[in-house]
Every structure is written in C-alpha cells, then in structure tokens.
Amino acid sequence: MKRPAAFLDRDGVLIVDSGYPHRPDQLVLIPGAAEAVKRLNDAGYVTVIVTNQSGVARGLFSEETMHGFNALLVERLAESGARIDAVYAAPHHAEAVEERYRHPDHPDRKPNPGMLLRAIAEHNLDPARSLMIGDQPSDLEAARRAGVAGHRFPEGGDLDQFVAGLLTG
C-alpha cells in the first residue's frame, strides 16, 4: 500500500535561511521544526526533505559539504525524536561555475518536480495523500507538478503550529 509523504523544503522551512547555509554554526532550526517533523511522523507521513542547493553549483561549498550539512540536520532533528526518512538535494544551476552542475533547467531543480517524483517512486508514496511545505512559489509549483498538495509556510512562523493546522484542517 502506498504511503503519504510530507515533503519539506529545507532553508526557510526547517532551518533559518541565512543565505546558502552550509556550516554547522548556520544550522538554526525554525521554531517548532523538530516538533512538526515528529507530529508528521506520528501521523504516519514519510518525511522527505527536498532542497535546491545552488550554492554547490555557484562554488560556495562542495557537494560533500552539502551532504554533511544535511546529515547534521537529520541528526539534530533526531535528537528531539523527529525522523527524516530521506533527503533529496538539487545542486544544479544554469550559471554553475562547475560544468557538472550546469544545466539550463534541471528536472530536479524546483519548480521542476524531479526530486518529488523520484521520492514517490523510490519510497512507494501516494502523491494524492501527500503534502509539500515550502516557503517559495517554486516549492508550490514543484508540488503541483508532482500531484501533491502544496502549502506555503510564512516567514517567521512556527512550523509545528503550521503543521498542526494542516493536519486538523
């Protein structure tokens, strides 16, 4: 049986968007982030981070640094009993300094739905029962293109309050 998923953008939803965050000191959780992920876990959602990471393409940090930072985020959430089931990142950009990341419109880079579609296929997810929480129009467009309900998280919000409203509404 296919399971519902909660697709979560990283910067601006789970962590404070400080402008290409990639160092441990830049990992600042949004208020209510861990509680929100735990609430989604308890409600039966597979939790998946889907994040554009053009900082890699722009040469600001390496792909290895990005993976390490994402792993640190997963660990930090787990310390509060919140489980992230998968992380998908798109390090591509049309103006990448490194050729292997240069692409005019990579299928994984939101607003394209590639990361969501891969997760749906790889984790046997039901897009019709899934949701996406993002802070940018590109997040909502990627959700729409993947057949997933998109919800815009407001800047300065509490993620757990936001998720609680989605689950009861």
44: burial class by Cβ within 10 Å (0-12, 13-18, 19+)?
Answer: exposed
Tokens 């936001």, located at residue = 162
**What one-letter code names the amino acid at 167?**
L
Query: Kind of pairing, strands 5-8 and 131-134?
Result: parallel
- State the Cα–Cα distance between residues 78 and 161, nearest whole angstrom: 19
Long-range contacts of 145-153 (CB under 8 A, 24+ apart): 145/111, 145/112, 145/113, 146/113, 146/116, 146/117, 146/120, 148/5, 148/7, 148/116, 153/9, 153/12, 153/13
**Which H helix or E strand runs over 140?**
helix 137-146
- State the Cα–Cα distance between residues 65 and 23, nearest whole angstrom: 8
**What residues are annotated to the active site?**
9, 11
